Amino acid sequence: MNEKIERARYELVAWVVMPEHVHLVVIPPPDADSDAAGLLTAIKITHAQRVLSRWRAINAPILTRIKEPSGRVRYWQPGGGFDRNVRDSQELINIVAYIHANPVKRGLVDRAELWRWSSIHRHRSQPVPIRNQ
């Protein structure tokens, strides 16, 4: 795994994996000189390299669909994503609810609990961690 990811010690609060994108909510450690953008870049690069390597090894049909006119394979959607700092506990709760509802909003499942690739199952037994500001 990427050394930056291993050293980061970020707490993964919530996540959902969608067919063409991922939502993550992470909390940096209290003593961190936070570089969330660098962490997310490291995660994305490591993940894309592993998946594309596997797809190439099995000659997955999806490779032709994600190839750009230049011949470059694009695993992630264009753009840098939407990264931001969460300022209070209510905003955190709202964001976690939003990402868990994403598969329902997209029509992939009828209820968020039916989407296997989500942290919603953990949140049923363990609430969103709220820290004192």
What does the DSSP assignment read for 28-83?
--TT----HHHHHHHHHHHHHHHHHHHHHHHT-THHHHTB-TTS-B--SPSS----
In percent, the amount of the chain with pLDDT more than 90 equals 32
Q: What is the mean pLDDT of the chain?
A: 81
132 domain residue, yes or no: no
Average pLDDT over residues 72-94: 82
91-121 pLDDT tens trace: 988 999 999 999 999 999 999 999 999 999 8
pLDDT band at 16 (very low <50, low <70, confident <90, very high): very high
Q: Which residues contact 27 (CB under 8 A, 6 or more apart)?
A: 10, 11, 13, 129, 131
In the predicted structure, residue 38 carries a pLDDT above the cut 90: no
22 domain residue, yes or no: yes
- Give the tokens for residue 71: 């011949």
Give me the number of domains the chain comprises. 1
- Structural domain including 44 reads 3-125
